[in-house]
Amino acid sequence: MRRFGHWLGVGLLVAGAAATVAELLTILQGAPATLSIGAIWYRIHANSLVGFQALIENGISPLLWPPIQWLLTLPTWLVLVPPGLLLVLLCRHNRRG
């Protein structure tokens, strides 16, 4: 299980680094907008984002959607890198004899 957590963390770090590079390239091209995780989700499959909102609001609680919506407006690297670092650090393999 530690190996899975470690590699999941590495994957999140790689995805976060890619998002950072994409955001830097966007800024260099003159666009001031940040690349949020919600915007990426919307570009990939907008219907699933709307369905996820309906699931949260109707299936769980309407009060839960505003914090999730706030999370979706954060820059992608800010959503991916901290959990990736946490997983890599917590799931690292101890090499002590």
> Which pLDDT band holds residue 95 (cuts at 50, 70, 90)?
low
Per-residue H/E/C for the chain: CHHHHHHHHHHHHHHHHHHHHHHHHHHHCCCCCCCEHHHHHHHHHHHHHHHHHHHHHHHHCHHHHHHHHHHHHCEHHHHHHHHHHHHHHHCCCCCCC
Res. 96: pLDDT tops 70: no
0.85 exceeded by pTM: no
The structural domains of the chain, with segments of one domain joined by +, span 1-31+77-97, 36-74
Closest of 4, 10, 1 to residue 88, by C-alpha: 10
CA distance 83 to 37: 14
Q: Is the pLDDT of residue 97 over 60?
A: no
86 pLDDT band, cuts 50/70/90, is very high
